[in-house]
Amino acid sequence: MALNSSNLPADVLVIFGITGDLARKMTFRSLYRLERRKLLTCPIVGVARDGWSDDALRDHARAAIKAAGEPLDDSVFARFAARLSYVQGDYADEETFHRLARAVNGRRRPVFYLEIPPSLFARVVGGLAGAGLTKGARVVVEKPFGHDLASARALNAELRQLLDEDQLLRIDHFLGKEPAMDIQFLRFANSVFEPVWNRDHISCVQITMAEDFGVEDRGHFYDPVGALRDVVQNHLLQLLALMASEPPSAADADALRDRRVDVFRAIPDADPAHYVRGQYQGYLQVPGVRPRSRTETFVGLRLEVENWRWSGVPFFIRAGKSLPERVTEIRIVFKRPPRLAFAERFAPEPDQWILRIDPSPGVNFRIQAKQPGKQDTQLVDLDLLFAAELGEAPEPYERLLSDAMQGNASLFTREDSVEETWRIVQPLLEAPGDPERYPQGTWGPAGASKLVAGYPRWHEPWLPARSPD
């Protein structure tokens, strides 16, 4: 990926919120994996409120990496631990940033990773600016970026007073998933797909993100948010854009992001008449959930992409918790073939192209083949599991943190993209209504199937083969 002169590798990584949950579950493990692949080149400074010593941080890192299930090699960990140091301080206190400035003295290209509550983003960036630390820096911010269109605009405006857009890297970890990146490779590196990737050949697109677990211990976080904000405005719209975009004409970050934003601009505001909300039974008993909460744990919606490639092809999205399986897939349903004069049965199911993002990423082309001994067809799978065929891929945070340190912004969301995606879902936020209850372990409320009326039904997702018990 092309880098310009201002995008040189970081000479220090500073992590705000190093004592938090995301750091414990994800960050240490990802950084350790980068160390193992010899892709870490700079010191790492953690900043948080607790009075930890450098050694306490190292002990915490070791425990977190192990708890995340990563096999630990002592020599790799020793290299990693030697990079770690800790600065204690409250983000409300200006002195914290001066202490940090002394700790990173002489470093010219810091990357600041803000894995902290979003309400603190502006305060921390203000503190960094006040201590003279933003020049030459890049700032990575976690999700969520805003709560609706107005708050996303306000946050952009606040941060942009202190940083240029190319200094600001907004995380959407789905963009760091290897199969999401694969969409463009599969589409544009194979000349077989492009001629059929349009409204002349495709009947509809179905995107499913199903989780077979509930809100668990995240009630306080989830209840003010709900499924639409949690995974649709960000992750699933980014997948949709990758699937629907035109080929980028260059490799720089903006060329790639421009094509995704083109798709968002072509999507009219979502129509509440094509929107279904569900809540799983038992959600109200989750600690942290408000009594009589109307927050949705399931959404189904229909979007259109009004351009020459896609006009008339509905994009159906469903996402939910406490569904029967954990699976995220994009399914392209092609148009039905015409009547086959030589076959016994003349209503073959349309072909489908399925990209599974999680778990066990892969691609499956479901086509019709002749049934042996019969004048009839049946759907068969031409499938490929990426890991088995191509080897293990880096984890999303490994990829994103490495890109942030290298100065490659292509997998981070830009200001216009964030605002466009909020604009698309905004009418749904304004007309929430009561969610339909659904039993746990089912495919959501009945309304979800009405949403696709007139189009192929929701297909059972393509699931990874289960090993026999």
Q: Are 174 and 358 in contact (CB under 8 A)?
A: no
What is the rounded CA–CA span in Å between residue 386 and residue 355?
11
147 is catalytic: no
Q: 49 among the known binding-site residues?
A: yes
325 part of the interface to ligand LXAUTJHC, by CB under 6 A: no
Q: Are 169 and 257 in contact (CB under 8 A)?
A: no
Q: Which does 460 bind (CB under 5 to 8 A by kind): ligand NDP, ligand LXAUTJHC, none?
A: none
**The only residue of 65, 84, 231, 289 in contact with ligand LXAUTJHC, by rule CB under 6 A:** 231
Binding to ligand LXAUTJHC by residue 395, rule CB under 6 A? no
Here the tokens at position 69 are: 């299930």
* C-beta of 19 vs 352, nearer to ligand NDP: 19
Joined tokens for residue 86: 């800790």
Residue 309 C-beta: closest distance to ligand LXAUTJHC, Å: 28
Beta-bridged to residue 47, according to DSSP, are: 16, 87
Rounded Cα gap, residues 162 and 239, in angstroms: 30
Run of H or E including 170: strand 168-170
Q: Which does 194 bind (CB under 5 to 8 A by kind): ligand LXAUTJHC, ligand NDP, none?
A: none
Ligand-binding annotation for 143, yes or no, is: yes
The residue ranges that bind ligand NDP (CB under 6 A) are 17-22, 25, 48-50, 90-92, 115-118, 120, 142-144
Q: Does 358 bind ligand LXAUTJHC (CB under 6 A)?
A: yes
Catalytic option among 60, 235, 274, 459 = 235
Residue 127, contacted partner among ligand NDP, ligand LXAUTJHC, none, CB below 5-8 A by kind:
none
Say whether residue 415 binds ligand LXAUTJHC (CB under 6 A): no
Decide if residue 351 touches ligand LXAUTJHC (CB under 6 A).
no
The answer to whether 376 and 344 are in contact (CB under 8 A) is yes
Minimum distance from residue 458 beta carbon to ligand NDP (Å)? 27
The residue within the footprint of ligand LXAUTJHC, chosen from 182, 223, 230, 395 (CB under 6 A), is 230
Distance of CA 315 to the CA centre of its chain: 18
Torsion of CA 238, 239, 241, 244, to 10 degrees: 180
Alpha-carbon gap, residue 181 to 173, rounded angstroms: 11
Nearer residue to ligand NDP within complex by CB, 146 or 300: 146
Q: Give which of ligand NDP, ligand LXAUTJHC, none residue 91 binds (C-beta under 5 to 8 Å, depending on kind).
A: ligand NDP
Cross-strand pairs, 317 = 207, 301
**From the CB of 118, what's the least distance to ligand NDP, in Å?**
5
Cα separation values, 326 from 352, 356, 359, 415, Å: 20, 11, 7, 31
Cα–Cα distance list, 135 to 3, 57, 160, 162, 419 (Å)? 18, 28, 13, 10, 26
The annotation status of 321 as a binding-site residue, yes or no, is yes
Residue 173 marked ligand-binding: yes
Binding-site residue set for substrate: 173, 177, 211, 230, 321
Catalytic residue numbers, as ranges: 235
Q: By CB under 6 A, name the binding residues for ligand LXAUTJHC.
A: 211, 230-231, 358
